[in-house]
Amino acid sequence: MDDNKMKIRYLKEPIVRQVLLLLVVSSLSIISLLMTHRYMQSRMAFIRSLVDNEQVRVELSNLVHTELHAVQSSFQKMSMASTENELQSLTVGINNTLKKLDEILFVMENGGVLRHVYKAHSLDKEELVRRFIYGHDNERRIDTEVIQIRNNLPEMQHFIADFWEILAGIMQQEMSVRERRLQDGEGYYAQLLGAYARLDPFFDRLMDNSFQIYFDADTEKRKLEQKTREVERTFQKRLVWIFMAAGGVILLLGWLVLRNVGKILFDRRVIQDALQVSNKNREEMVRSYTISLEKEAQQREKLQLVVEQNPSSIVITDLDGNIEYVNKQFETITGYTREEALGQNPRILNSGLTPPETFENMWKTLQKGEMWTGELVNRAKNGEIYHENVLLAPLKNDKGELTNYVAIKENITELKKAREAAEASNNAKSQFLSRMSHELRTPLHAINGFSQLLLKKNKNHTLDERQSDQVLQINTAGNHLLELINEILDLSRIESGGITLSLESISVAETVRECIALVASLANESGITIDVDQSIRGVPHIRADLTRFKQVMLNLLSNAIKYSHPGGSVSLSGEQRGDTVHIEVSDNGIGISEEQMKNLFVPFARLGQDDSGIEGTGIGMTISKQLVELMNGTLEATSDPGVGTVFCVRLPTAEEGKEHSTLDPIVAEGDNEVVTERTATFLYIEDNPCNIRLMKFIIEQWPTYSLVVRKNAEKGIKAAAMLNPDIIFMDLHLPGMTGQEAFVELQKNQKTKDIPVIALSADALPTTVEECLQLGFVSYLTKPIIIESLREEIEKCLQR
């Protein structure tokens, strides 16, 4: 009994209480610092893991491109095979590559582990083994391009079978390569060319998909890297402030404790001295001591304010989960007062939206005596839903016994809203681009379609040489305009790093010749001469995207013409320097000042030419520079005001042995009339008069075919059931019922469910194309259509 009294008396000792207070506050501060630091480290580790995962996706997308290129090369080698053993070997190689490609795509679509073998050198047997680990944790991510490539892999077997049949026939006839060429497109060699004509666009689509996968992964990785840097800076700032605050509290408390201990010792000495004086002096010393106690209470209140005014919500519970303490931030966020919260379980905040496995993981972690971090979706007293990042840790006494749980929670609701708003903005932008694509393609459908018809010589009409040349220019310009429309609509993708490029070996001289032909009329109007130095012919092929390279050159040439003086000249020259080709476009025009040169590649900067009457938007040079850089090159300019300007494009040379050949989009010579023997009836469901007229002219080329037109889906469905046409051409954007809805209705009717339906639409979004093909459309042709492509689809359907 006396021992217990001694312990109680010892704990009541003021000096002991001061020391215990210092230890408790210091411990809490250190624990809070450790928990905060660990929480920050775990968040950073998680974000870095996302970056590493996207890097793996980037590398896997590169493997996809490499394997696709290997398959395409193997098909090219098949045409050179002289024996069936060689064909068999190449076929086995293609099948092995397709199997490997399918494994890579499966990992990219579902996540998993992939083992890939690299050869250290083409002449060595030494191999390097790389193990890829990819986690597909984002359930909202739909890998459309991956799915498209995987869905198209089985079609390779049809190409292999076609090549086998063709090449086997060639081998049986024992024809030499020269003899095959002398046949001038007849027999098996013509079939081989036809097989290649089908194979190339097939691989172009797959290559486009592989590049899209790469750029999507690279873009996501860049965003995550930027997010990592932002979070790391934020965490560092917070950690510094927390360290400063905790250090200040501990120093302040230490100073107060030392001062109070000194004061207590001093008071004791005074009291002891007072025992030797009068009762009056003793009472005065007692009063002095009681003032000291009030100051101690004031310091304790300051310490409590540090916790009370913390910007994070702080909750302390007992081992049963009953709330023992909440700070003011908790009251602000939840709407529950402290009196309402004390004694309650934190489940009063449960919204029912947090996954049950989150709570299971939380309690398992706490039962191990470890800290848990995670995200909870809670409900405030007024019913409002909010999100919190939570750091939950067990508290132990000096004996190591678990006594309480403490939670430090940060409200992240606004951050989530901002993220959702960004996603909504992206969706709206996609819808806008889709609409613009449809509206711009529709008039081009008529321009390109009618020009194709005029270029096809037949008995009904003929064009003289001059007229043919003029219509050909219209068609070529229309095709190029279509390319430019696609590029403008992709401007946002260029800025975000998501544009798709098809890098190949390109002839500089041939491309420059085509570009000069397109700007010749513009130069003639101003009396500008275009001088092409013979050095252009001598430069090697470059590795670039043909469409994008033409876009850059056309922009540089047109700018040089527009900003030259009437009667001036524009010059082109080229040379090889090491592994790059330098192409210069120079003029003797107005030039660019040093101050204007700073804004040359800034979007919408007209460099003081807004009132000059010279047409332009101010984004051409910006796009050109970005495109050149995406093709691993550079674009620079030098200028002397009043003398002229020189633009220099530098692009890497192509690999040896890989040359690029181009074909005119439409051949205006020869008899292109298609001879058909069987009769057929086609139903065209379309509401646009111009499109209807174009289709009628196209079908008129084949006398044995007839065309029936209906201007809405309802009438079209009735006509299909009555006429039983051989093929139905369906527009998607129809008044009332859409083309997709009309197709579903046709499938419900026994009379029409087996009629092949071909979609004809200006909607070029890959998602729309995929949707229609999955519904059951036999084909999807994007406006403006190519007549030859339409004819091929008709023949396929009629042969079914």
The amino acid sitting at 44 is M
Mean pLDDT across the stretch 67-90? 80
- Cβ atoms of 644 and 591 within 8 Å: the answer is yes
pLDDT tens per residue across span 180-210: 444 444 566 677 777 777 777 888 888 888 8
The candidate with the shortest Cα–Cα distance to 710, out of 690, 692, 698, is 692
- The confidence score (pLDDT) of residue 380 equals 92
Residue 388 to residue 349: CA distance in whole angstroms: 11
Mean pLDDT across the stretch 521-526? 84
Clarify whether residues 637 and 545 are in a common domain.
yes
How many residues make up the chain in this entry? 800
- Check pLDDT > 80 for residue 670: no
Clarify whether residues 220 and 140 are in a common domain.
yes
- Check pLDDT > 90 for residue 52: no
- The confidence score (pLDDT) of residue 778 equals 93
Q: What is the rounded average pLDDT for all residues in the chain?
A: 79
Q: Please report where in the chains the tokens 């530098």 appear, as a residue.
A: 650
Q: Could you say which of 186, 202, 228 is where a domain stops?
A: 228
685 forms bridges with which residues in the sheet? 710, 730
Which range of 3-7, 288-292, 338-342, 438-442 scores highest in mean pLDDT? It is 338-342
Clarify whether residues 622 and 744 are in a common domain.
no
In this structure, is the dihedral angle defined by the CA atoms of residues 405, 410, 413 and 419, taken in order, positive or negative?
negative
Residue 158 to residue 164: CA distance in whole angstroms: 10
Residue 301 maps to a domain: no
Residue 79 to residue 206: CA distance in whole angstroms: 21
Mean pLDDT across the stretch 439-445? 72
Residue 434 maps to a domain: no
- Cβ atoms of 77 and 58 within 8 Å: the answer is no
The candidate with the shortest Cα–Cα distance to 500, out of 105, 214, 71, 218, is 214
The candidate with the shortest Cα–Cα distance to 588, out of 540, 633, 529, is 529
Read off the DSSP letter of residue 619: -
Clarify whether residues 119 and 216 are in a common domain.
yes
Q: Could you say which of 376, 411, 446 is where a domain stops?
A: 411
Q: In what order do the strands lie in the sheet with 779-782?
A: 705-710, 680-685, 727-730, 757-761, 779-782
Clarify whether residues 567 and 603 are in a common domain.
yes
Clarify whether residues 330 and 192 are in a common domain.
no
Q: Which of 276-280, 598-602, 603-607 has the lowest mean pLDDT?
A: 603-607
The CATH number for 364's domain is: 3.30.450.20
Q: Please report where in the chains the tokens 């089908």 appear, as a residue.
A: 198
Clarify whether residues 589 and 645 are in a common domain.
yes
Q: How many CB atoms sit inside 10 A of residue 534's CB?
A: 9
Clarify whether residues 643 and 694 are in a common domain.
no
In this structure, is the dihedral angle defined by the CA atoms of residues 211, 552, 667 and 75, taken in order, positive or negative?
negative
Q: Is 306 left (phi over 0), alpha (psi -120 to 50) or beta?
A: alpha
Residue 379 maps to a domain: yes
Q: What is the bridge-based pairing of β-strands 727-730 and 680-685?
A: parallel
pLDDT tens per residue across span 137-175: 666 667 777 888 888 888 888 888 877 777 777 776 655
Clarify whether residues 532 and 627 are in a common domain.
yes
Number of domains the chain is built from: 4
pLDDT tens per residue across span 750-761: 999 999 999 998
Q: Could you say which of 411, 436, 467 is where a domain stops?
A: 411
- Cβ atoms of 749 and 742 within 8 Å: the answer is no
- The confidence score (pLDDT) of residue 141 equals 65
Residue 75 maps to a domain: yes
Calculate the CA 359 to chain-centre distance.
34
Calculate the CA 540 to chain-centre distance.
34
- Cβ atoms of 743 and 757 within 8 Å: the answer is yes
Q: Where in the sequence is the domain holding 556, given as residue range(s)? A: 490-652
Residue 51 to residue 706: CA distance in whole angstroms: 58
Clarify whether residues 688 and 612 are in a common domain.
no
Choose between 336 and 121: higher pLDDT.
336
Residue 148 to residue 112: CA distance in whole angstroms: 20
Clarify whether residues 686 and 790 are in a common domain.
yes
Taking every pair of C-alpha atoms in the chain, what is the biggest distance, in angstroms? 139
Residue 608 to residue 596: CA distance in whole angstroms: 8
Helix (H, G, I), strand (E, B) or coil at 479: helix
Clarify whether residues 627 and 510 are in a common domain.
yes
Q: What is the pTM of this model?
A: 0.37
- The confidence score (pLDDT) of residue 594 equals 77
- Cβ atoms of 429 and 435 within 8 Å: the answer is no
Residue 7 maps to a domain: no
The CATH number for 724's domain is: 3.40.50.2300
Residue 514 maps to a domain: yes
Q: Which of 269-278, 448-457, 571-580 has the lowest mean pLDDT?
A: 269-278
- The confidence score (pLDDT) of residue 779 equals 93
